[in-house]
Amino acid sequence: MGSGSPCGACKFLRRKCIRGCIFAPYFCHEQGASHFAAIHKVFGASNVSKLLTHLPVNDRPGAAVTISYEAQARLKDPIYGCVSHIFALQQQKYIVKDFAVSFMKTLRNILLLEIDSIKYKLMGSWAALLGREYY
């Protein structure tokens, strides 16, 4: 950052934030320190710095967000990390898909009943026009 307040990462690491700090664009002063705490605990500041440095500049924002999410997930679930959240989302997808299939079958049955009812009424109307009763 150079002048002013340090980025969240440098604030957490209690160091001066220099111009060209690899963390400054991705960890703001306000919330960055709390997000970076998880990252530092799980991956280490040096490892994340190396990772971001070796990435193309346009890939770094997405990588910073992903690393932050993965670190927070790993602290919540040390064994599975973000995989447990992915698994939960997959389970929800299957539940919703099963519900949608069931709903479509029910809707189909309702529509078939409506069609049968309309057919019965039309046949009765035609029979009345022709002078016959329809049963």
Is the pTM higher than 0.75?
A: no
pLDDT of residue 126: 73
Report the C-alpha gap between 112 and 129 in whole angstroms.
Answer: 26
Mean per-residue pLDDT pooled into runs of 10, the chain (135 residues): 76 92 88 88 96 96 95 94 93 97 96 90 76 59
Give the distance from CA 57 to its chain's centroid. Answer: 24
